[in-house]
Amino acid sequence: SFNEGRVDVPVGLCTRLQLSTPVVKGGRFAGWYDGWVIDRKFPVDMAAFAFSVELLQKRPRANMAWSYDYQEESILASLGVAPEDIEFKAQNCTQ
């Protein structure tokens, strides 16, 4: 849920594919569509997600290490978020 995890929406005009979004099938997370997947657990752009203040308060040591490829990865990992925690917005990431 939003209180525990993160919200995902498509982000346009980023990466070589021009779109970064979770893939949703039957209302459930099925993977990623992104031009820079490499070995990232969360190949999403920073503009694609949010997390609640409540989650941040539960994990006061959460941080975001600077890295060109892994900024999103580091904050979401330090918050203990899993892809299954996604709350899809934008009509299941279709808009």
Domain ranges of the chain: 7-93
SS3 state of residue 87: strand
Cα(37)–Cα(89) distance, integer angstroms: 21
Q: Mean pLDDT in the chain?
A: 77
**How far is it, in rounded angstroms, from Cα 93 to Cα 23?**
8
User: What share of the chain has pLDDT > 70, as a percent?
Assistant: 79
Whole-number Å distance between alpha carbons of 22 and 29? 7
Helices (H), 1-95: 53-58, 71-78, 90-93
CB 34 within 8 A of CB 17: yes
Catalytic member of 4, 72, 73, 84: 72
Q: Is 4 a catalytic residue?
A: no
Minimum mean pLDDT among 5-14, 47-56, 78-87: which range? Answer: 5-14
In this prediction, residue 7 has a pLDDT band, given cuts at 50, 70 and 90, of: low
